[in-house]
Amino acid sequence: TAKSPTAMRRLLSADMVERGGCPFDPPPGLRQRRGQGPVQPLKLLNGASGWLVTGLDETRAVLSDLRFSSDRVRHPDATQPHQGGQTAVAAQAVESRTDGMFVFMDPPEHTRLRRLLTGQFTVRRMRALESRIREIAVEHIAAMQAAGTEADLVPAYALPIPSLVICEMLGVDYADRAEFQERTAVALNANAGDQERAHAGLELYAFIQELVAAKRAKPADDMLSGLVHDADPPLTDAQLTDMALVLLGAGHETTANMLGLGTFALLEHPDQLAALRADPALMDTAVEELLRYLSIIQMGVSRVATEDVTLADVKIEAGSTVIIATPEANRDPRHWSEPDRLDVHRPRSPHLAFGHGIHQCLGQQLARAEMKVGLSELLTRLPKLRLAVPADQVPLRNEMLIFGVHSLPVTWA
Ligand code: HEM
């Protein structure tokens, strides 16, 4: 079956999307455009005119200004934000996939749905999830060791951790987890054909619908049950299914790529890796630095101006798409010294890897916990971890909204 270009590739030229010599640096076309100013006109490949924002302050200004809309129903031409997975999962399935896709909504609808979910991210649940993350990480390292001295870290470690964490969050039964993981993997797999992905997406949609019905009949102590039973007025099944899919799409591919690409980056920066191994207390700042330095959500955050807005002395006309170049905004030389250097000692400073404003990542604490635990267990349990192939043979996810590696062959012998 034929693969079609991703939404991003239909709108942006290759040099703005594909990373060049160093897989960790922003695509060369972005770097070159940054030189032309923090906000600049951008011709999209579909003929529309848009704007590219490469500065940190200008990005904050856009993302905190409600005149810039996230509504993909009213503005279908905008690029899809990073929840590309969930869009692929659901898009083909149902006529209108908008019931609970709050990431594509503006206030007041967005506010209501997001608040319901925030109410389910309780401290107690987050603690329980954190201890499960460690168990999952340890189990998967043990399985890798039991199978030999080499593995592809993506399917063996980076993908299963966020996938199983989402199972915990949604309260998927143990018996159903393999099926859930398998379908998610196909639905999110860039190398699968369109039809295969669409089919897996439909199956996943049906799976989540059944899960919602099960939680309605018999609530348990999980987030989905909380959403089903605590919302007043109650959410519809379509809304609940969408909201579960948002969590799945937003929390799976992102964290998986941070684990895969983050490990790759550390292995390619031996001095930084050594510093981190020598002082595990650096892990918190290292995770923030990796988020900033890698900025995996390449061009996925975008908005549409609902009225004329002046930004950095530039007039953005109503109806234009504004694309945030997160990899550049997170290396804004006005904010960081030597922004192109990975430095695990760098003092923590606010980056935009989780976005900003009302849509700022809802799962960021969880994502941080997954990265901290995932990386530290890997580094301590496999002290000789290294690449099993030359670095230039690691396949990069250049074509995807979420950058990362397709696979990461490693050895620990
Ligand atoms: C939104 C990044 C992990 C749930 C966002 C946004 C970014 C982002 C940039 C804002 C999108 C926009 O403004 O259009 C990331 C990164 C992650 C990560 C880099 C991993 C390293 C997670 C996890 C979850 C999650 C683990 C939950 C399980 C969400 C949700 C939204 C969101 C629900 C939508 C919030 C809203 O629209 O109000 N994320 N995310 N994310 N993220 Fe994450």
Buried b (16+ CB within 10 A) or exposed e, 75-104: beebbbbbbbbbbbbbebbeeebbbbbbbb
Q: 47: which residues sit within 8 A by CB, 6+ positions away?
A: none
User: Are the C-beta atoms of 375 and 255 separated by less than 8 Å?
Assistant: no
- Tell which residue, 8, 1, 3, has the closest CA to residue 399: 8
The Cα–Cα gap between 292 and 403 comes to: 13
Mean pLDDT score of the chain: 89
SS3 11: helix
Minimum CA distance residue for ligand 1 atom 7: 354
Structure tokens at 254: 């992102």
| CA–CA separation, 32 and 26 (whole Å) | 10
ipTM for the assembly: 0.99
Instruction: Compute, in angstroms, the gap from residue 163 CA to the centroid of ligand 1.
Output: 15
| pTM value surpassing 0.90 | yes
Going by C-alpha positions, the residue among 117, 90, 273, 106 that lies closest to residue 188 is 90
Q: Is 317 left (phi over 0), alpha (psi -120 to 50) or beta?
A: beta
Residues with CB under 6 A from ligand 1: 70, 81-82, 102-103, 114, 246-247, 250-251, 254-255, 258, 296-297, 301, 353-355, 359, 361-363, 366-367
Mutational test site, ligand 1, from 361, 368, 375, max ligand atoms within 8 Å of CB: 361
What is the CA angle 325-190-301, rounded to 5?
20
* Rounded distance from Cα 359 to ligand 1 centre (Å): 8
CB 400 within 8 A of CB 84: yes
Alpha carbon of 195 to those of 191, 208, 261, 263: distances in Å? 12, 20, 28, 32
Q: Per residue of the chain (413 residues), what is the pLDDT tens digit?
A: 334 556 667 788 888 888 878 999 999 999 999 999 999 999 888 888 899 999 999 999 999 999 999 987 776 655 444 333 344 344 433 334 468 889 889 999 999 999 999 988 888 888 889 999 999 999 999 999 999 999 999 999 999 999 999 999 999 998 999 888 888 888 877 677 888 888 888 899 999 999 999 999 999 999 999 999 999 999 999 999 999 988 988 888 899 999 999 999 999 999 999 999 999 999 999 999 999 999 999 888 999 999 999 999 999 999 999 999 999 999 999 999 999 999 999 998 899 999 999 999 999 999 999 999 999 999 999 999 999 999 999 999 987 778 999 999 999 99
For 23-167, strand residue ranges (E) read: 39-43, 49-53, 68-69, 150-152
